[in-house]
Amino acid sequence: MDLILDGILQALRLIMSFDSEVMAVTLLSLKISCSATLISLFIGIPAGTLLALAHFPGRRLVVSLVNTGMGLPPVVVGLFVTIFLWRNGPLGFLEILYTPAAMILAQAVIATPIVAGITIASIQNLPANLKLQVLALGATRVQMVWILVREARLPLLAAVMAGFGGVISEVGASIMVGGNIKGQTRVLTTATVMETGKGNFDVAIALSLILLLLAFGVNYILTVIQQRERPR
């Protein structure tokens, strides 16, 4: 119990004193995971909308694959992204392994199926004849899609939260493609693993608490937005 108390006190001390290293690690976590979430939104929402509305052979298979991808293990993503980004790997010319860019890439791969999967579910949950009504009122196909996405915007915020939550908390991919390099690719989760390995449990607990606060903060903002416009 002493250890947990020490950890909480240490966390407060680190937060209150604006410890420069902890601040840098926290900010980097936020930057990387926000960027990755953003990329996953740009890919996942259009792809999910398409899959929800289009009819083509093999659609069920693709949707199943996306749904499986929602549980993609971060270490598996980390392993493949690392192999692709190796200097002598297929994407080695990019020279981004062990940089924040590589971490964004890996996290975007993790978050995209999550966003796409929730998008499919949200769009399909809209009343079935909404699509017909909109078309009957003379909307073009593009306008129809836009209206459907707008109608689904509240559940789509859940996609943002799930995607962000998935990547801010993962460690497997970040440690493999980032390397936990001090001042460059050390984020909250990888720093927590390292401090645990060093036996600095109080610092590890402090970092964990900061991570939880961060995840809570972002989700709180998103939830406020989501709940503000509940259908009345």
Which residues lie near another protein (CB under 8 A)? 30-32, 34-35, 37-38, 41, 86-88, 92, 94-96, 98-101, 104, 153, 157, 179-182, 184, 194, 196-199, 201, 221-222, 225, 228-229
Minimum Å gap between C-beta 60 and another protein is 31
Q: For the chain, state the CA radius of gyration.
A: 20
The nearer residue to another protein, 71 or 73, going by C-beta atoms, is: 73
The nearer residue to another protein, 21 or 68, going by C-beta atoms, is: 21
The nearer residue to another protein, 63 or 110, going by C-beta atoms, is: 110
The nearer residue to another protein, 35 or 122, going by C-beta atoms, is: 35
Task: Identify the residue whose tokens are 């559940």.
Answer: 155
Minimum Å gap between C-beta 154 and another protein is 8
Minimum Å gap between C-beta 8 and another protein is 17
Minimum Å gap between C-beta 82 and another protein is 9
DSSP 197: H
Structure tokens that stand for 160 in this block: 């943002």
Cα three-residue angle 30-155-111, rounded to 5 degrees: 40
The nearer residue to another protein, 63 or 174, going by C-beta atoms, is: 174
Minimum Å gap between C-beta 209 and another protein is 19
CA distances from 121 to 70, 164, 166, 195 (A): 12, 18, 18, 40
The nearer residue to another protein, 62 or 94, going by C-beta atoms, is: 94
b/e map 126-141, b = 16+ CB within 10 Å? beeeebeebeeeeeee
In angstroms, the CA 88 to CA 207 distance is 35
Residues written for the chain: 232
Around Cβ 124, how many Cβ atoms within 10 Å?
A: 14
Around Cβ 194, how many Cβ atoms within 10 Å?
A: 17
Around Cβ 172, how many Cβ atoms within 10 Å?
A: 19
The nearer residue to another protein, 37 or 63, going by C-beta atoms, is: 37
Minimum Å gap between C-beta 31 and another protein is 5
Minimum Å gap between C-beta 171 and another protein is 13
